[in-house]
Structure 1
Amino acid sequence: MASELKVEQEFSKVIRERRSVRKYDSSWKIPDEEIKEILAEAILAPSSSNLQPWRFIVITDQEIKAKLLPIAHNQAQTTESSAMIAVLGDTEAYSNAETIYGQASAMGLMPEDVAATMAKRSREGYSSLPKEKLEDIALVDGGLVSMQLMLAAKARGYDTVPMGGYDAAALKELFQISDRYIPVMLIALGKAAVEGRATNRLPLEDVVHWNGFQA
């Protein structure tokens, strides 16, 4: 019970101390291996039918960051943070269904015949959806993995800020991203030079409705 309480307290501390940080210590460099560890924790997030549509571009090269700067509307964290992470959503994630469910079967997570059935159902079901619906799914799942990434970073003592202010078309052009993928957001990752500003939240009773909804 004591260990469970400690974990709960640590998690509560992480979510309460996370801030959107826009000023970073540009001399602080997070090792690539540690960024990989953060991403490995991020991709444990849930996704529709476990198709995991997220893709990431990790940008640590200063010359590439400089090219990204005007695309991100000259926000200073673009070049000052240790890394910029572009989160993308794969609108054809269903094409990986056989691989994903095949791995699940090989790991003993489900019988082979169940895996084959689920893979077939996922591929056929999602491939029949309109592009707009597939984009909606990719955006929702991309939001889930992005939040998990930011919390994983904070748990390691690092700071982040989600960035929706950027030119998505220019981002796709810079990295030659095909129309199969849609930009979800940019995330700056690094060590704060100036602590992020604390923000307030609406009272719980203003945002939670029980067994119904009244605007």
Structure 2
Amino acid sequence: MTNEFSKAMDFRHACKVFDENKKISDEEINFILEAGRKSPSSFGMEAWKFLVITNEELKAKLRPACWNQVQITSCSHLVIVLAGIESVKPESGEVKKRFNRREMPEDKLEFYLGLYASHMEQTLSSDENIYAWTSKQSYIAAGNMMTAAATLEIDSCPIEGFDKNQVEEILGLDRSKFQLSLVLPFGYRTDPQSSQQRLSQEEVIEFIK
């Protein structure tokens, strides 16, 4: 099992060119998306949404807003990772609903709601601060989706090179509810591709005993 995970991690890289003629099956893309949906999140808020785009006209429209990167149009499935804004505000009712999934007594539920509101007071003070928090959370889901894809030998490329406002306008997003966090294309590499480059363990890992 460890070996299979290591193989997936060695396989994964930021794919620069996808094979436009190879498409991911419905079963495989659902497996990848489930890895994102089931990912952990702070307070269990799951403040994200995944738009899965296969419409070629829409992909072509988005490409100029994403620094004209070829992955946007050559990929099989373009996943737009959104960060939730409204759902993490206590007044939305969603926070209570998500805490309530744990089926706790009312007094305990109120305690956790109060703890959440006080602990998150600064974070929840503006949509800008909320976005900084929830977009960070969304990267946990994105990382899990990329690793899940790699186990199937499906490629990905996390893209931050975009004009956020333009992409959100093209997608017609209600920014009070969701904002763009990451553009994440999936597909199959064309050969050859550059090999994976990483810092050594000695440069990255320090054991404190």
Show the counterpart of 1:4. none
The answer to whether residue 184 in structure 2 is matched with residue 187 in structure 1 is yes
Show the counterpart of 1:26. 20
Show the counterpart of 2:173. 177
- Answer with 86-95 or 152-161: which moved more: 86-95
Q: Sequence identity of aligned pairs in percent?
A: 26
- Asked if 1 retains the 8 angstrom alpha-carbon contact of 2:8 and 2:153, the reply is no
- Asked if 2 retains the 8 angstrom alpha-carbon contact of 1:48 and 1:137, the reply is no
- Answer with 39-48 or 55-64: which moved more: 39-48
- Asked if 1 retains the 8 angstrom alpha-carbon contact of 2:11 and 2:153, the reply is no
Q: TM-score, normalised by structure 2?
A: 0.85
Counterpart Cα distance in 1 of 2:175 and 2:119: 21
Counterpart Cα distance in 2 of 1:112 and 1:35: 38
Show the counterpart of 1:108. none
Gaps of 5+ in 2: none
The answer to whether residue 55 in structure 2 is matched with residue 57 in structure 1 is no
Show the counterpart of 2:98. 100
Distance 1:52 1:122, change over 3 A: same
The answer to whether residue 136 in structure 2 is matched with residue 140 in structure 1 is yes
Show the counterpart of 2:81. 87
The superposition leaves residues 134-186 of structure 1 with CA deviations (integer Å, 9 ceiling, x where unpaired) of 12211210111111110011112211001111111110100111222221110
The answer to whether residue 67 in structure 2 is matched with residue 73 in structure 1 is yes
How far residue 116 of structure 1 moved from its aligned partner, in angstroms, is 5.3
The residue type equivalent to 1:89 in the other structure is A
Counterpart Cα distance in 2 of 1:37 and 1:199: 24
Show the counterpart of 1:43. 37
- Asked if 2 retains the 8 angstrom alpha-carbon contact of 1:69 and 1:78, the reply is yes
The answer to whether residue 186 in structure 2 is matched with residue 204 in structure 1 is no
| RMSD of aligned Cα (Å) | 2.2
Counterpart Cα distance in 1 of 2:196 and 2:22: 26
The residue type equivalent to 1:54 in the other structure is W
Counterpart Cα distance in 2 of 1:32 and 1:134: 33
How far residue 77 of structure 1 moved from its aligned partner, in angstroms, is 1.4
Show the counterpart of 1:151. 147
Gaps of 5+ in 1: 1-6, 106-110
